Amino acid sequence: MTIKRRHTEELPEHPDFLWKNPSPKKSYDVIVIGAGGHGLATAYYLAKNFGITNVAVLEKGYLAGGNMGRNTTIIRSNYLWDESAGIYEKSLQLWEGLEEEVGYEMFFDQRGVMTLAHSVSDLRSKQRNFYANAVNDIDSQWLTPEEVKKIAPIVNISPDVRYPVLGATYQARGGIAKHDWVAWGYAKAASDLGVDLIQGCEVKKVKVENGKVVGVDTNQGFISANKVAMAAAGHTSVLSEMAGFRVPLQSRPLQALVSELLEHVLDTVIMSGAVHVYVSQAHKGELVMGAGTDAYNSYAQRGGFHVIEHQLASALELFPIFSRAHLLRTWGGIVDIAPDASPILGLTPVENLYINSGWGTGGFKATPGSGWAFADTIAHNRAHELVKPYSLDRFVSGHLIDEHGAAGVAH
């Protein structure tokens, strides 16, 4: 199937049903907990790459109702460390062929991602990141303020503002996609290959016998499984506690917002750690902006309005033109954050139970790569090369993958 880039006026019609809604069977080869992006991608690659189709994805709410349907959809692979380069670049490469592969439009749009530097130390850390990317063969450009202005004319680059723009990194292959369509594409493709997607099915207990997982108790009864894979994002701590082990994760609200529909003024993605802004303009025309995490632990999928106000005040520093835009909607998701701001992936202390978590504020971009490498990990019952560095053991060995600084605004 060939997919042409289309404009909003010609959005394709959805079929009435993209996937079947079966009742759970008594047993499966693999149960995936959580129908967010990572769970759905994992199920798809299990079926597609390994022929493992006796798989159920259990979702307590509705498909992609968690962070998958709430993120600001920024995609890039220009992280600092080699381990990150591995998995995020694999992911970006998969994005580049994904719509064709699953046969579903996702509005994957490589409009570029620009990360601004505003102070001397900021500039140095961005340049360090830029050189690290070069060493890892990840496309990256260094932009002067004038070049920034050329790509994004609405950025205020005058030197006498609170946060002057001193330069930027630019990854031209980065961009955005329509997150719900990505979930639906994976869901449809997985369902077509025989995977059962079961919504309204909450895992209440992970059953372990003699150190090995045997299935899950749900609100729809016990379902047995040879293997169980957790892809529950903000609820990972709750699930691993059910299975009898702890994870070093904290769940926090992360909020985002959109403006009313505006004419197109921005055709790239702009991030700034110092000002704490990340913004893109959706295909329909709304400005999409992400805020910072709220300070406290929460499972409430909402945060404080002062966080939104702070976010908008920052945005106006860089984009004075936004001052007349109206805020249309704000929302929050619950993100699972590890001490080094990198994911926790792979095997667990329980045999045949696997973990895919800790993607925190930045896991949308990793959806294809994570699902791809996690499916391989589950199929072979050992960590895939790209997954290995992200084991739970790293918090004991000290091999942390510190992406706090590199990410800046963490996306």
Partner 1 sequence: MLLINCPWCGPRDETEFHYGSEAHIGYPEKPEELTDKQWAEYIFYRNNPKGWFAERWVHNVGCRRWFNIWRNTVTHQFGPSYKPFTKQPSRPK
In the complex, the residues that contact ligand FAD under the rule CB under 6 A are 33-39, 58-61, 64-68, 70-74, 202-203, 231-235, 239, 254-256, 290, 333, 335, 359, 361-365, 411
Q: Minimum CB separation from ligand FAD for residue 410, in Å?
A: 9
Question: Which does residue 298 bind out of partner 1, ligand FAD, none, counting CB within 5 to 8 angstroms by kind?
Answer: partner 1
- Decide if residue 142 touches partner 1 (CB under 8 A): no
- Decide if residue 295 touches partner 1 (CB under 8 A): yes
Q: Minimum CB separation from ligand FAD for residue 175, in Å?
A: 11
- Decide if residue 298 touches partner 1 (CB under 8 A): yes
Q: Which of 69, 164, 248, 320 binds partner 1 (CB under 8 A)?
A: 248
**Cα distance between residue 44 and residue 51, in whole Å:** 10
Task: Name the residue nearer to partner 1 (CB basis): 55 or 335.
Answer: 335
Q: Candidates 76-84, 199-207, 249-257, 373-381 — which segment interacts with partner 1 by CB under 8 A?
A: 249-257
Q: Which of 296, 380, 385, 399 binds partner 1 (CB under 8 A)?
A: 296
- Decide if residue 250 touches partner 1 (CB under 8 A): yes
- Decide if residue 135 touches partner 1 (CB under 8 A): no
**Cα distance between residue 193 and residue 55, in whole Å:** 10
On whether the CB atoms of residues 118 and 165 are closer than 8 A, the answer is yes
On whether the CB atoms of residues 71 and 333 are closer than 8 A, the answer is yes
Assign residue 11 a region: left if phi > 0, alpha if psi is -120 to 50, beta otherwise?
Answer: beta
Subset of residues 310 to 339 that bind partner 1, contact rule: CB under 8 A: 339
Q: Minimum CB separation from ligand FAD for residue 409, in Å?
A: 9
In 3D space, the residue among 273, 356, 276 whose CA is nearest the CA of residue 309 turns out to be 276
Question: Which does residue 231 bind out of ligand FAD, partner 1, none, counting CB within 5 to 8 angstroms by kind?
Answer: ligand FAD
Which residue is at the shortest CB distance from ligand FAD? 36
**Cα distance between residue 267 and residue 270, in whole Å:** 9
Task: Name the residue nearer to partner 1 (CB basis): 131 or 305.
Answer: 305
- The one-letter amino acid at 298: S
Question: Which does residue 251 bind out of ligand FAD, partner 1, none, counting CB within 5 to 8 angstroms by kind?
Answer: partner 1
- Decide if residue 299 touches partner 1 (CB under 8 A): yes
Q: Minimum CB separation from partner 1 for residue 236, in Å?
A: 9
- Decide if residue 219 touches partner 1 (CB under 8 A): no
Judged by CB under 8 A, the number of residues near partner 1 is 23
- Decide if residue 342 touches partner 1 (CB under 8 A): no
- The one-letter amino acid at 192: D
Q: Which residues are at the interface with partner 1 (CB under 8 A)?
A: 235, 237-238, 246-251, 295-300, 304-306, 339, 395-398
